[in-house]
Amino acid sequence: MASRRQRTQRLQTMGVLAAGLAHEVKNPLSTMSVNLQLLAEEYADAKSPLEQRTLKRARLLLGEVDRLDRIVNDFLALARGYEISAERVDVELLLTDLLRFIEPENEQLEIAARSNFDAAARDVFADPKFLRLALNNLVVNAQQAMAETGGELFVETVGHESMVEIRVTDTGPGIEPDKLEKIWQPFFSTKGGGTGLGLPTTRRIVEELGGEIGVVSEPGRGTRFTMVLPRPPRELGGDTLDPTETSR
């Protein structure tokens, strides 16, 4: 397995390449978007079957151009890295809010969400915006894994002396062993229509926050992602735990 330094060097190289890619791709995408918008406006009052089909196709293509533009932007952000501004974050509150936000979708997918939060593991040292993005990616990944069958989503936190562990577990079909390491590669996806950028983005964010992320999976039983993040420094009230106070 590649070391973190090797991954960092690759990402730096990727950032240079991504900037060139973005320039070469976004300009024609912008031209296509403008012309498709003008075409859709011309046929906005379409009456004949031919005009209606033209309007439908213009709108379909416009949607695909917008999707490609978002993919390019997401890849560029992943390659360049993120401007992290870490602070004390109540991860229990953040996770509770996130689970509440996805509750309607869980009900529709017949996914039962459960949580178990360690009272001694509420605070982490992170950028709240990017931490939420990383956690949201993991939760959405779990939802997609159980989209066809339903199942259980379990979110928990565990406190350690200087770190906080966040676990996101699903009871989906699991990931084949030969694909486990590939899930961190940009554009690799086991789901139809997926961009393959969610998990690489999550890993990059976690590492830039000074943490680590790992995954274990058993085909037919489910998958667990484990994110480990540092506690806040002492000057922010982030005193580490006394090892004698916890058996974890």
Give the pLDDT confidence score for residue 87 in this predicted structure.
93
Pairing of strands 123-126, 163-170: unpaired
User: DSSP character for 45?
Assistant: T
Q: What is the mean pLDDT of each run of 10 residues along the chain (248 residues)?
A: 60 64 76 89 89 90 84 72 86 94 94 94 92 93 92 94 94 91 82 74 89 93 95 66 36
Please tell me the distance from the alpha carbon of residue 96 to that of residue 144, in angstroms, as a whole number: 20
Contact (CB, 8 A) for 164 and 131: no
- Based on the structure, what is the number of domains in the chain? 2
180 and 210, same domain (yes or no): yes
* Rg, the chain, Cα only: 21
Same domain membership, residue 172 and residue 150:
yes
| pLDDT for res 197 | 81
Neighbours of 234 (CB within 10 A): 9
> Which residues, at least 6 apart from 197, have a Cβ–Cβ distance to it below 8 Å?
71, 74, 75, 78, 186, 187
Q: How far does Cα 44 stand from its chain's mean position?
A: 37
Tokens 């998958």 locate to 223
pTM of the model: 0.70
CATH number of the domain residue 229 falls in: 3.30.565.10
User: Which pLDDT belongs to residue 246?
Assistant: 36
Name the domain boundary from 59, 80, 101: 80
pLDDT at 142: 94
**Phi, psi for residue 203 in degrees, rounded to 5:** -65, -40
**Domain extent for 16:** 4-80
